Amino acid sequence: MSDAGSPPERVRVSGPPRRRTPGARTSDIDAGTRLGGMYLGSLLREQLRLALGVLTLLTLLVGALPLAFHLWPGLAGVHLLGVPLPWWLLGVLVYPTLLALGWAYVRRAERNERDFAELMSEVER
């Protein structure tokens, strides 16, 4: 340490760099080059594909029910624990199904975004 009587040494304190230098890939998007457009397009396509996948499942699991009951009216007479099937399906089971679909979507969408962010922050050598 320094002697008493002389001013204390100046110490420079610094943390980890807060701003990452933009990698070559983000600058592609910023500049609006074709390559940048392709990067963005790939993200969009991935997210849209995920969205449409979830919606397709929604259509098949839930949206197909009116058609099913139209084609096979006997289904309405099926009783489980004394309660007819339609009430179980549309009154109870549909809600956990929607929640499960939503949860699966959120996890996948966040992963897509993480992957994209990693891709973008790689600096080209």
Partner 1 sequence: MNAAPGVVAVTLVTLATLLIGTWGLRFSRTTSDFFVASRSVHPRLNASAIGGEYLSAASFLGVAGLVLTFGADMLWYPVGWTAGYLVLLVLVAAPLRRSGAYTLPDFAEARLGSRGARAVCSLMVVAIGWLYLVPQFQGAGITLRSTLGAPSWVGPVTVGLVVLANVSSGGMRSITFVQAFQYWLKLTALLLPAMVLLAVWSADGSPRAVGGDSWSVPLAAGGGEGLYVTYSLILATFLGTMGLPHVVVRYYTNPDGRAARRTTLVVLALLGVFYLLPPLYGALGRVYAPELAASGRSDALVLELPRIMVDGPLGELLTGLVTAGAFAAFLSTSSGLSIAVAGVVGQDVIGRVGSRLGGVAAFRVGAVFAVTVPCVVALAAPNLGVARAVGLAFAMAASTFCPLLLLGIWWRRLTAAGAIAGLLAGGLGSAVAIAWTLATSEPEGWADTLMGQPAAWTVPLALATMVAVSLLTASRVPPGAGRFLVRLHTPETLELDRG
Residue 10 vs 20, nearer CB to partner 1? 20
Q: Which of 24, 38, 44, 60 binds partner 1 (CB under 8 A)?
A: 44
Answer positive or negative: Cα dihedral of 97, 98, 99, 102. Answer: positive
User: Applying CB under 8 A, does 91 fall inside the site for partner 1?
Assistant: yes
Count of residues in contact with partner 1, rule CB under 8 A: 54
Q: Cα(31)–Cα(33) distance, rounded to whole angstroms?
A: 5
Q: Cα(73)–Cα(23) distance, rounded to whole angstroms?
A: 61
Q: Which two tokens stand for residue 53?
A: 């996948």
User: Applying CB under 8 A, does 32 fall inside the site for partner 1?
Assistant: yes
Residue 8 vs 77, nearer CB to partner 1? 77
User: Applying CB under 8 A, does 80 fall inside the site for partner 1?
Assistant: no
Q: Which of 38, 80, 99, 123 binds partner 1 (CB under 8 A)?
A: 99
Q: Cα(82)–Cα(35) distance, rounded to whole angstroms?
A: 61
